[in-house]
Amino acid sequence: MFILKGIDQLTNAIAKAKKVRPRVEFDHFGRYRVSGSKGYYTVICRKDERGIKTVACTCKGAEKGLACYHAAAALSLHIGLARQQQTA
C-alpha cells in the first residue's frame, strides 16, 4: 500500500501501464481488478476522513510500498469516476 501524494510519483507507473495496457475491471467504486503477469490483482483506492488517499494492490511491488502500474491503471479509471460523482 502507498499514500498517493500527487501524480508525479505515478509517472513511471503510468508509463508502464501505457506500455503493458492491463485490463481494468470495475468491481465497485474504489475497488478494481487489474490484469497482471500472474493473473488479476485487486486494487483498492481509498480516501480517509483527513483526505489522505491510499492505494493498495495485491501485487508484490505494492506490498513493498511501490506505486505499481496496476495501481496507475486502476487510478486512471477511479479518478474519472470520482470526477463524475462530484459533477453528478
For residue 78, state whether it binds Zn ion (rule: CB under 5 A).
Answer: no
Closest CB to Zn ion among residues 11, 85: 11
Instruction: Tell me how far apart the alpha carbons of residues 55 and 30 are, in angstroms, rounded to a whole number.
Output: 9
Smallest distance, Zn ion to C-beta of residue 39, A? 12
Binding to Zn ion (CB under 5 A) within 23-42 occurs at: 41
Closest CA to 36 of 84, 74, 8: 74
Write out the H or E segment, with its range, that includes residue 79: helix 69-87
- To Zn ion, the closest distance from the beta carbon of 62 in angstroms equals 4
Backbone conformation region of residue 65, classed left if phi is above 0, alpha if psi is from -120 to 50, else beta:
left
Any contact of residue 57 with Zn ion (CB under 5 A)?
Answer: yes
- Does position 59 bind Zn ion by CB under 5 A? yes
Return the SS3 of 55. strand
Residues of the shown chain interacting with Zn ion in the complex, contacts defined by CB under 5 A: 41, 57, 59, 62, 68, 70
